[in-house]
Amino acid sequence: MPIVMDDLFSAARVPEKLGPGALFLPGGAAALQEKLMTQVEAVLAQAPLRQLMTPGGRRFSVRMTNCGALGWHSDAAGYRYESCDPLSGKAWPPMPEEWITFAQECAAQAGFETFCLRPV
């Protein structure tokens, strides 16, 4: 288990409104970070990072993957969402439930109490 030091500035790290509908939540994921990273690694084991191509044939400078019902994809056929990983042909890994809960809690703190990642 990694050694964690107290944050010298923790008392100053309070939510800060950046603008309409935007709230900075410093340290918001601190208590969950180990579990979230373990889940990131599990997603990556099923759908590794890859560099996509633009419709014009250029390679993106970033690597990415997806999880959940749909994944964003780009290739010579254009930009789109895919229900399956085009490389493996398998459905994208499911989005971990903790990510959904965390996103909804953050959204509620920012004033979006009705935010939902699940189809209604």
Note whether residue 101 is domain-resident.
yes
Per the structure, how many domains does the chain have?
1
The pLDDT confidence band at residue 116, using thresholds 50, 70 and 90, is confident
Q: What is the CATH number of the domain that holds 44?
A: 2.60.120.590
Note whether residue 12 is domain-resident.
no
Counted residue by residue, the chain has a size of 120
Structural domain of 63:
32-109
In this structure, how many other beta carbons lie within 10 angstroms of the beta carbon of residue 93?
19
Note whether residue 16 is domain-resident.
no
Give CA–CA dist 110/103, Å, rounded: 11
- What confidence score (pLDDT) does residue 56 get? 96
Note whether residue 7 is domain-resident.
no
Note whether residue 81 is domain-resident.
yes
**pLDDT tens digits for 64-101?**
999 999 999 999 999 999 999 999 999 999 999 999 99
